[in-house]
Amino acid sequence: MTTPIRKAVFPVAGLGTRFLPATKVMPKEMLTVVDKPVIQHVVDEARLAGIEEFIFVTGPNKGVIEDHFKQQIHLEQVLKDSGKENELKALQASQLAPECVKFTLQETPLGLGHAVWCARELVGDEPFALLLPDVLVQSTGKTCLAQLIEVYGDTGGNVIAVEEVAAENTHQYGIVDIERSKTDNHLIRGMVEKPSQGTAPSNLIIMGRYLLQPEIFKILDAKERGAGGEIQITDAMIRLLESQPFTAVEYEGRSFDCGSKVGYQLANTSFALARNNLRDELREELRKLL
Ligand code: UTP
């Protein structure tokens, strides 16, 4: 029996410099994809995977994220009074029960590994999910995180979602070296963060969804700097791989890197095209535009 995955960590303390000036006061995780902030899409993915506790690692000026998940009593009342039932439902669906939400502060953005380390006390001694909020995944069936949890039920250990990219782009990502199986799940032999061009062991990238064992925190305690002078989660996972198994899952779905301008625009278009009430009009307009 594997220990259930009950908690998820959302690191939202980055500076979002690629989106300045939009992110001067507005956290990039609050930028909108169709009609929900990016972070809401990711929280919904976790909810659908059965996550019960939501841990946000925030930075200074990220209070608006905290506000977003709270009940807005006055606004609810206004919608009730004016009979706006659908709007009220959408508002209420965005809320998280206060006892399920935890916040912790990463005062300085020293890297993703450091952001995860900041959640160590809230996670405690149990395996947890890690979702990078600037990556959105569109799946036709189960959410990406739900797919990982299903695999974890069989394998235990650590499980990470991977996907293929063109060989010339591997230097931008964390890359896995795998023992390729006949299924979509492969045992990981090694990992490398941002390998120099032409040296990547595969073209499978670590795309932003992880299930990790709590021993990762002991490794992150060392606060070792890696690529770009940042404390990297991939470096800590490489150390953990010495004592624990890691499974790579080629999940069903398509990811969008909302931290990049093109990825963000594509996410908006693709998520809008998936909506019955927007698809036809948008398709027509896009055809004209292109
Ligand atoms: P990114 O490196 O994509 O985010 O981190 P960033 O640094 O905000 O982006 P740019 O390059 O300046 O535009 C991936 C996720 O990890 C979080 C970010 O908020 C983002 O959601 N993160 C990153 C932290 O919480 N703390 C960090 O120290 C670094």
- Give the tens place of pLDDT for each residue, 228-285: 889 999 999 999 999 999 999 999 999 999 999 999 999 999 999 999 999 999 999 9
Q: Does any domain span residue 15? A: yes
Q: Is residue 50 part of a domain?
A: yes
The residue count of the chain comes to 290
Report yes or no on 17 lying in a domain.
Answer: yes
265 and 176 in contact (C-beta within 8 Å)? no
How many domains are there within the chain? 1
Phi then psi dihedrals of residue 44, to 5 deg: -65, -40
Q: Could you tell me the residue range of the domain that residue 158 belongs to?
A: 7-289
On whether residue 131 sits in a domain, the answer given is yes
CATH code of the domain in which 79 resides: 3.90.550.10
List the chain residues with pLDDT less than 50. Answer: none
Whether 222 lines ligand 1, by a CB cut-off of 6 Å, is no
Domain-embedded: residue 204: yes
| Pocket mutation for ligand 1, best pick of 112, 135, 173, 210 (most atoms within 8 Å of C-beta) | 112
Asked, for residue 1, whether it belongs to a domain, the answer is no
For the entire predicted model, the pTM comes to 0.95
- Residue 145 falls inside a structural domain: yes
CA of 178 relative to ligand 1 center, distance in Å:
27
CA of 146 to the centre of ligand 1 (A): 24
Specify if 2 maps to a domain. Answer: no
CB 35 within 8 A of CB 182: no
Verify whether ligand 1 is closer than 6 Å to residue 134 (CB atom). yes
